[in-house]
Amino acid sequence: MSATTASSAGMPDEAPKGAIVPRLIAFFSGSVGVAVKLALLAMSNALAAWAAYVLIDRSQWIALVALLVTTVGIDALYFGRHTLPAKFLLPGVLFLVCFQIVPIVYTIDVAFTNYSTGHILSKSSAITQIELTSLQPPANGKQYFMAPAHNSAGDLVLVLKDQVSGVTFVGTEKGLTPLPQSDVKANAFGITAAKGYSIIKGNELFSLDQKLHAFHVPTTGESSITPQTISTAVELEPTLRYDGKTDTFTRISDGTVFRDDGKGSFVHADQELEPGWKTTIGFHNFGTILASKALRGPFFRIFVWTVVFAASTVFLSFFVGLFLAIVLNKKGLRFQRFYRSLILIPWAVPGFLSLLVWQGLLNDDFGVVNRIFHLNIPWLFDANWAKVSCILVSFWLTVPYFFLVSMGALQSIPEELNEAAHVDGGAATQIFRRITLPLVLIATSPLLIASFAFNFNNFNNIYLLTQGGPTQTNQPIAGATDILISYTYKLAIATGKGQDYGLASAVSIIIFVIVATISAVSFSRTKALENIN
C-alpha cells in the first residue's frame, strides 16, 4: 500500500454522508466564523451605543458605567485567544444575571421602599407636581383665547384675548402689555394674526408643548396666566407655597404647614399632599403585614389554604399517578399504549387553555358537569366548593406528570427484587410498601418537593379558574381561593389607592422564605431514603 493510499485510508477527505454537525462546524470555522462573530459583535455594540445614549439622556451614570464595562469586556473576551471556555459560559451568565439575579435584587430593593401609586416620582418632581396641582382660578379669574407667537427679537410670547371683554394683550414672563384690538385678527378657531408678531403654527406649535406648559405670565399678586391648550389660557393662583429652606408647603388660605414625614409625603395631621415620592422606608412594609388587621387576617388564612392546596394537589396526583403507572406497567396488558397516551392528554394541552375550559365546564348555571350528572353544585361560586374545584382541576393537570415520573421510577427497579420478594412469600401489599414505594420515593422525592414549591406559587391554576374568588365578607382584596401569590398580585394592583408594589414585594420575599424553609426541611428529610440503597 502506498503512502498516499495509507494517508487516504487513515484520514478521509470528506465527512460521511449525513454527518451534518461536523459539516456545519467546518463551514463556520475560519473566515466565515470570524465574519459571523464580527457581525454579532457589531450588532451588540450598536445596541450598547443606543442604550448608552438613552442612559446619558436620563442621567443614569451608574448604569452607563456598568454598560460600558460589560460591552468592553465582551469585546475583549471574544477577540481573545485564550478565553474559549468563557466564550460559551458568558451568554448563559448574562441571561442568568438579567433574568434571575437582577429581578431578585430589584424585588428586594422595592420591598424596603414605599413604591406605589402616588409614590413613584423623585422628591423634586413631586414638589413640582404639587405646585402645579395647587394652581386654582382666583375669585375673579379670567379666561383667554391664546396664540403662541415670536416677537421681533425671536422670543416666545403669548397673544391673548379676553373671552368676555375682548381686550387683547401680549403676555411675557415679565407681565401683560396691552395690544390694540385692531392689531389682532381672530376667527371662530382662535387668534390667527397679530401685528408685529409671528404666530407659531404647524409642527413648531406642537413641539412647544413642554415649553408652553412651563410658561407663566404674572398678573396681580401671586396670580399668573397659564396655557391650558394650544389656543386657550386661564388665570390661576397657587393655593400652596413651597419653602426650600424649611422643606415645607404652606397653605396660603389658612397658613397650614405640611412637612416631610420621612415616608415620601408632605403631611399635616391626617392630611397628605399628593403626589408623594419614592423613598426607603426600611421594614415598614413587613411591619404593615403583621400589624394591619386588614392584611394580617387574610394573610394567615391564605397561607393555610396555600399549604393545603399545594400539598393536596401534589400528594393526590402522585399517588394516583403511581397507581396508574403500576397498573399500566404490567406486561401483556391490551391497549397499553393507548391508555398511556390517553392519560397524557391533559399534559399535552396548554394549561391556561385547559383552565379556561374547566371554568366553563364547572359553571353552575350552564356548565356541562352539572347538566350531564344532574347536579346543582356551585363549583365556582361557593367558597368551599371553589376550593374543591381548584384542587380537582390542579389534580387533573398534574396526574400525567407524576404518571410519567412514576413509570420511569418503576422501570428502573430491578425485576430480581420483586421476584426474590415473591419467592420469600411476600404479599403484593408488602412488596409495594417495603420495596416498590421506597425505591420510587428515592427517585421522586426531589420532584415531589419541586412540585410542591411550584403549586405553592401556582398563580395560573387559581387566577384563571376562579380569579381567587368568590369574594369574602369584609375582605375586598382576598378571595376564598386566593393563594399567597395571587393575593400578592391583587395587592400590587388593587389595594388602597392603587398599586402597592412595595407591599407586594415584601409579601413575595415572605413567600420565598416560606417555600425555601419547607424545601430545605423536606430535602433534609429525604436523606433518610439514601440508606435504602
User: Which pLDDT score is estimated for 178?
Assistant: 92
Count: domains in the chain: 3
For residue 178, the number of C-alpha atoms closer than 13 Å in the C-beta half-sphere is 5
Q: Are residues 186 and 147 in the same domain?
A: yes
CA distance 211 to 228: 12
User: Can you give the three-state secondary structure of 72-90, one letter per residue?
Assistant: HHHHHHHHCCCCHHHHHHH
**Residue indicated by cell numbers 397673544:** 159
* Structural domain containing residue 30: 25-111
Q: What is the pLDDT of residues 329-344, one digit of tens each?
A: 887 788 888 888 889 8
Dihedral of alpha carbons 90, 93, 95, 98, sign: negative
Q: Are residues 104 and 164 in the same domain?
A: no
Q: Are residues 104 and 144 in the same domain?
A: no
Q: How many CB atoms lie within 10 A of CB 40?
A: 11
Main-chain phi, psi angles of 130, to 5 degrees: -65, -40
CA distances from 121 to 130, 161, 209 (A): 12, 36, 21
List the grid coordinates of 488: 400578592
User: Which pLDDT score is estimated for 8?
Assistant: 43
258 pLDDT exceeds 80?
Answer: yes
Largest CA-CA distance found in the chain, in angstroms, rounded: 118
Contact 450, 522 (CB under 8 A): no
- Kindly report the average pLDDT of the chain as a whole number: 87
**Residue indicated by cell numbers 396526583:** 317
In a domain, 3, yes or no: no
User: Which pLDDT score is estimated for 20?
Assistant: 76
3 pLDDT exceeds 60?
Answer: no
> Rounded to two decimals, what is the model's pTM?
0.76
CA distance 530 to 56: 57
> What number is the average pLDDT over the span 117-144?
90
Query: Residue 166: left if φ>0, alpha if ψ -120 to 50, beta else—which one?
Result: left
In a domain, 525, yes or no: yes
User: Which pLDDT score is estimated for 524?
Assistant: 81
Q: What is the pLDDT of residues 494-522, one digit of tens each?
A: 665 678 899 889 989 999 999 999 888 88
User: Which pLDDT score is estimated for 19?
Assistant: 64
Q: What is the pLDDT of residues 262-283, one digit of tens each?
A: 999 999 998 999 999 999 999 9
CA distance 159 to 279: 43
User: Among residues of the chain, what percentage have pLDDT more than 90?
Assistant: 50
Please give the residue that has the higher pLDDT: either 150 or 414. 150
Domain boundary among 213, 238, 263: 238
User: Which pLDDT score is estimated for 225?
Assistant: 92
Main-chain phi, psi angles of 272, to 5 degrees: -135, 135
Q: Are residues 369 and 510 in the same domain?
A: yes
Q: Are residues 414 and 502 in the same domain?
A: yes
Q: What is the pLDDT of residues 85-96, one digit of tens each?
A: 888 888 888 889
Q: Are residues 484 and 443 in the same domain?
A: yes
In a domain, 341, yes or no: yes
310 pLDDT exceeds 70?
Answer: yes
CA distance 506 to 262: 19
Q: Are residues 298 and 209 in the same domain?
A: no
Continuous segment of H or E residues that includes residue 325 = helix 293-327
- Helix, strand and coil content of the chain, in percent to the nearest 5, comes to 55, 15, 25
> What number is the average pLDDT over the span 122-141?
90
CA distance 392 to 365: 19
Q: What is the pLDDT of residues 144-192, one digit of tens each?
A: 999 999 998 889 999 999 998 889 999 999 999 999 989 999 887 789 8
Contact 129, 275 (CB under 8 A): yes
CA distance 90 to 25: 20
3-state secondary structure at position 190: strand
CA distance 405 to 343: 13
- E-strand spans in 239-358? 240-243, 248-251, 257-260, 266-268, 271-272
pLDDT confidence tier of residue 25, bands split at 50, 70 and 90: low
Contact 376, 383 (CB under 8 A): no
User: Which pLDDT score is estimated for 85?
Assistant: 82
In a domain, 448, yes or no: yes
Q: What is the CATH number of the domain that holds 229?
A: 2.40.430
**Residue indicated by cell numbers 404490567:** 330
User: Which pLDDT score is estimated for 4?
Assistant: 45
Continuous segment of H or E residues that includes residue 515 = helix 501-526
User: Which pLDDT score is estimated for 532?
Assistant: 52
Query: Residue 19: left if φ>0, alpha if ψ -120 to 50, beta else—which one?
Result: beta
In a domain, 124, yes or no: no
Q: What is the CATH number of the domain that holds 482?
A: 1.10.3720.10
Q: Are residues 61 and 187 in the same domain?
A: no
